[in-house]
Structures are given as C-alpha cells and as structure tokens.
Amino acid sequence: MNTLLNNKFLVIFLAPFLLGGITILSFPPYNITFINFFTFSILLFLILLIKKRTQPKYRKKKSTRYFFYLGCAFGFGFFLFGNYWITISLTHDEVFKGLIPLALILIPLFLSLFFGLAVLLIGGFAEKNIAFIFLFSLVFSIFEFIRGTIFTGFPWNLISYTWSWSIETIQVLSIIGTYSLSLISITFFSIPFLFFQKKIFKKNIFFLLFFIIIFVINYSYGIIKLNKANYNLDKKLNVTIVSPNFSLKDYNTKSEELQLKRLIKISDPKEHQKTLFIWPEGIFYESYLEDIKKYQNLFKEKFSENHLIILGINNFFIDEDIKNEKYFNSLVVLNNKSEIIALYNKVNLVPFGEFLPFENIFSKFGLKKITRGYNSFSSGSKREIIDLGNKFNNKLILPLICYEIIYSGKIKNKNQFPDLIVNISEDAWFGKSIGPYQHFSKAIYRSIEEGTFVARSANKGISAFIDPNGRVLKSLNTGESGNIQLNFPYYYQSTLFSNYGNKIFLLIIFLYIFLILIFKYLKFNEE
C-alpha cells in the first residue's frame, strides 16, 4: 500500500483522473449518487497526502504545483467522460471531423483548470478535520459558480445535479438554488474523509449524525412540499408539445416542406380547440424567418384561428448603421396565417456551437462555429416575457432556447412572472449519448427554482411537461415521436430563490466562512 502511495504518477495524475471519471456515474442517466461519497473523500485524502509529501521532511522545498496537477487531473477525467458527447456534434459535417480529437482533449483540459485552481488554493490547508471539509466544499463550489459565469459560462454537471432522480431532496432548490445545493452536497459527500483515520473520534460521529439529520429534515420538507402542492385548475390553456424525432440526415435528404407536413400531422390540430403548439428548435433548416411566408397556405389549411405555434428558426437582418448582417437563433410565435405574433432572439449562445469566442483570432486558424452557416450568431439584447394575447387570456411565457435552460438564477428578471417556461431544443446533435439526459435534468431544476411549469420540446431529446415542483407530468423519451397534451392551469408561485437568485448563494458562502473560522479556532477534531 505504501509503495502505491509513494508512486507520484498514480497519486497526482492517474488516481484523480479515474476519480473524476467515476464521478460522472452520479449524474443522469446513471444516477449512482452514493459514488460521490467515495470519489470526493478519496480526492481529499490525496490532497492531504500530497501536502505531507511536499513538506520539507520529504523535499528541500515545498512544491504547490502538484495540487494544481491533481485538481486538473480530476477535472480532466470529470469533463472527458461527462462531456464527450460534445464531439458527436462534429460528426455531422465532414468539415469538422478532423477537429474531434482536439475537441475531445482541449475542451475538458480547459474546463479542468477550474478544478486545478480550486485544489491549488486549498491544498496547503489540508488537514484531517471538519474545517478543511468546509473549506474544500466552499472553494470547490465557488469555482463551479465561476465556471458557470465566466466567458458566457458553462454550468453543466454542477454537483447538485447528482440529486436529479430524488425529487424530494431537491425541493430545497426553491429556497437556496442549485449552486448552494452543490456546496452543501460536496460537504455531505466529503464526510467519509474524516474516517480515513486510525481511530474514529466521537466528534466525527456527531458531525456525521448532524448531517444525516439535516438530510432527513430536508427530505421531509420535500415530502411535505410535494403533498401540499395545489394548483388552480379553473383556468386552463391547452398546450401540445410535439417531438418529431427527425434525424439530422433527414434534414439533408428530405425537403423542408415534407418535414413540415410530417410535423403538422404529428401535431394533430383540432380546429375548434384553442391550443398552443410547441415545436422544437431547428426544424426549419432551409428557411430563415423572412421565408416563412412561403408556407402560408399550408398553415392556413391545417391550423385555425384558435391555434398558436411556437417554433425555432434562424433569423437575420442587416444593421444599416454598421452595414453588417446579424444572424440570430430565434424563437417565434406564429398564428395560423404564419404571421409573427412574437419574436425572441437567443441571448445565451453556445460557445463554438453558435458563436466563435475571440472570432477574429480563431478564424485565422480555420475554426468556425458548428451550426448552420459558419458565421457566428449574434446574441439577443435581452430576454422578455412573451404575452400570447387576449385570445389566449394573456398567458405569459418565458422563452428559453436549448442551452439557456442550464443557467441557474439567470433565466429571468425578478420582476418577471411567467405562467409557463417554454424550452425548445435540438438534441439530435448529440446522438444516442448521455447528453440529452443531462440536458433534461436542468429543466427539472429550473422549474423548482422558479416555481413555474415548464413545457419542453426537444427533437431527439426528452420532451416533457414539468410542474413547479419538478415532477414530470407527461414525457416523450429520446427516439420517440408524437405529441403530449396538457391543460395547463394558470399558476405562478414566486419562490425565495426566484426573488433573490444567487444572492442566497453569497449568504451561504459567508455562513461557511464563519463555520470554518469557528471550527478552526476551536481546533475541532484536529489530530
């Protein structure tokens, strides 16, 4: 055993890399949450081991770079196995296939820097005590927040998403939000680290029991909250979510008009039934918004004045001030005459997928965005609530296109009160991978945080109705085509988190700093 622990490559690179990869099993679709107790505790043990091995007793001078290497190795395994599906999007265009090895390595390598910096900051403070667990959890979650914010942000697979299968556990999201739950979860998962000692101290047991009690209280709160959920069923709106299950090959081999007719057939509109139809992103692949009029007769024939259609389509206009064309990924609401009732231009774009960061530099090396056309999309100015008008009782919807559903605390302004969050997505880019399952879990979290129904239409992904407590009412799985219908009640209940957002996370950060100082001052549980 000692021989293994003295192996620098094993301790600093291989072991943390494997731990990071194994941690992905705790996320959808696997949901083996308990594995985090193993991975995080061993990660802490390795940090402590490196600290001991870099003391003057072992070396002439300290070397902190090993902490950075360890954190990066853990992060590289985590993002390599958790986000490999990104490279599947590169297989649909011959132009990009040569970039697959680079994307497979460079994206996880870049994202791993956040874990590397986190471990670098806390490595020198490593001790077998509760204060260090709090410090580790705090710094790790802060870097999760930074990762979810900097350079447009990539808050994918935050640790709190490992609870997505336990609807009772995550009801607390309505109070504290996703980042705060990540912070508390990391602390919980790290507790077994305290038992890597020769003796199990009573203080350790008390600390463990305390967290078990907290978990039980939280779970009980979730049960009570779910049982008390009561929605106003008097006023309703019929909503039909459509999932056509189109493959990306269909877009290349079949005419857009033929695909549109298939989509309408699946929608199955009833002339006298007032209905809001929600179609996925990306179904208009030959046309831009200004071309939609060519299908006017088809819309008039199949839909009535009692219908509205929400869909995704690309849009461009010429900015006369700078004599430049701007391209947008847009959500549009159409009536039965294919007239535009409302328009939303996507605000949060996917890096490399929809825009090329530092385009002036990277374009010189032949890099381009992945989706339609090779010019970068422009970001919309702001996200506005869409009013469906008098005919639909002024129902208010919050539009989110694909990737935008992943941003905790950033999807709306606090003075916006939507009746329904509408999320449209094109998940065919990611094939039969874990990506669509991970993507869907984010919609569940947003529904609880915002206290709002979510209607999600995803081609080749999971389409579903989700209630304000995160319960999936109806769904279509990946690979399924068809429609699901629901009479939506007129319901909105603001939550503590929807009012204050990630300010609550800031408060919990200060609470953790206070606890760290207390435990450190009291020398609680030190050897």
Is residue 495 within 8 Å of residue 449, measured between CB atoms? yes
Phi/psi of residue 105, each to 5°? -95, -45
Which of 59, 190, 125, 5 lies closest to 526, judged by CA?
125
b/e burial code for range 234-245 (CB count within 10 A of at least 16 → b): eeebbbbbbbbb
Amino acid at residue number 163: W
Total number of residues shown for the chain: 527
- Residues 6 or more apart from 308 whose CB is under 8 A from it? 275, 276, 277, 333, 334, 335, 341, 388, 392
Do residues 498 and 175 lie in contact, with contact meaning Cβ atoms separated by under 8 Å? no
Instruction: Please give the positions annotated as active site.
Output: 281, 346, 402
Instruction: Give the H or E element holding residue 111.
Output: helix 100-122
Q: Are 466 and 456 in contact (CB under 8 A)?
A: yes
Phi and psi, residue 276, nearest 5°:
-100, 115
Contact 510, 138 (CB under 8 A): no
Assess contact for 478 and 460: CB atoms under 8 A.
yes
